[in-house]
Every structure is written in structure tokens, then in C-alpha cells.
Amino acid sequence: MNNLARQLKLLVAPVLALTLLTSCAKSSAFEPLADGPCTANQEAAIAKHLSAQIDALAARNWELAYSYASANFRFTIPLAQFTEIIQQDYVMLIENKGYSFGPCEISGDNIMRQVSVASDQGEFSLNYKLSFYDSKIGVESALIKQLTEGLSL
């Protein structure tokens, strides 16, 4: 009986492990990327990712904000340079009074998402370029367009 139990255990263990692994695996909303408007799941995932980065910037947690950049960006731009760029050019994100998400579009390997940001400096539209690589979303860049100027007292 002891031998039978051991053989049964050897037979059941791999099946159980395989079942657990496949039940934990999620099919990604980003695989494969298809040109056109983002799906609702893609929009939600991108909004969550960008919100986390913007909130980290507002908290001045540069290291956490940097972690939301793509691997390619982090390979090219070190943390100190990222921090300097943010503090010089993206003050509206650090001192934002709120933000909202606009259209999301996929073209080739690029994901584009528009974000509107309100700050004391005015209203801004940022066009984010993101990538999806190695099962991870990453921010590649954000182009700024100032829509209105803030009030000077």
C-alpha cells in the first residue's frame, strides 16, 4: 500500500503542478498587439500604469516613477538624468491638480495614450508613447503640448 501511495503521488504531482501553473497564467491584453484603438482591457491597464507613474512623480518618488519606464528607456537614461528631466520639463506632473485619460491607439509596436493634466502652470496635453515588451508595459516618452497658461499673481 505504501508503494502504491508513492506511485500515485508521483503520478498526481506533475498533473497538479501543471494545473496550478496554467490556472495562474493570464492571457495578456497586449498579446498580440493589433493596430487600431485600444481595447477596454488595454485602456484600463495603461491608465493604471500611467496613474502609478504620475502619482509617484507627484510624491517625488523618483525611483518608483522610473520603474514605470520601459526597459529600453532605463537602459538609455539613468535615474539621475530621468530625475533631472522630470524636474526641469515635467513640473506639471509633479505639481498636478488632476489628470484624465484620452484616446488610446496602437500602431505597430507602439501604444499611444493622451493624458490631460491640470496644474498651476496651466492645462497640458501629454502624448505618451508606451511599449509592451517581455510581458510588461513601459513608458518610452511623453510629448508635452501646453493648452492654456496658468494665472500669474
The rounded distance, in Å, linking the Cα atoms of 101 and 26 is: 25
- Residue at 103 is within a domain: yes
Q: Summarize pLDDT for 1-44 with one digit per residue, the tens.
A: 555 555 544 444 433 333 333 333 333 677 777 899 999 999 99
The whole-angstrom separation of Cα 124 and Cα 115 is 8
For strands 136-149 and 98-107, give the pairing: unpaired
Establish if 14 belongs to a structural domain: no
Q: What is the pLDDT of residue 32?
A: 75
- CATH number of 70's domain: 3.10.450.630
- pTM confidence score: 0.78
| Average pLDDT over all residues of the chain | 84
Tell me if 15 is assigned to some domain.
no
Output the CA–CA distances (angstroms, integers) from residue 59 to 2, 9, 90, in the order listed.
60, 52, 14
In a domain, 3, yes or no: no
Nearest-angstrom CA–CA distance, 34 and 107 = 7
Q: Would residue 2 count as lying in a domain? A: no
Structural domain that includes position 91: 36-149
Classify residue 25: in a domain, yes or no: no
3-state DSSP helix/strand/coil percent for the chain, to nearest 5?
45, 30, 25
On the CB side of 88, CA atoms within 13 Å amount to: 6
- Number of compact structural domains in the chain: 1
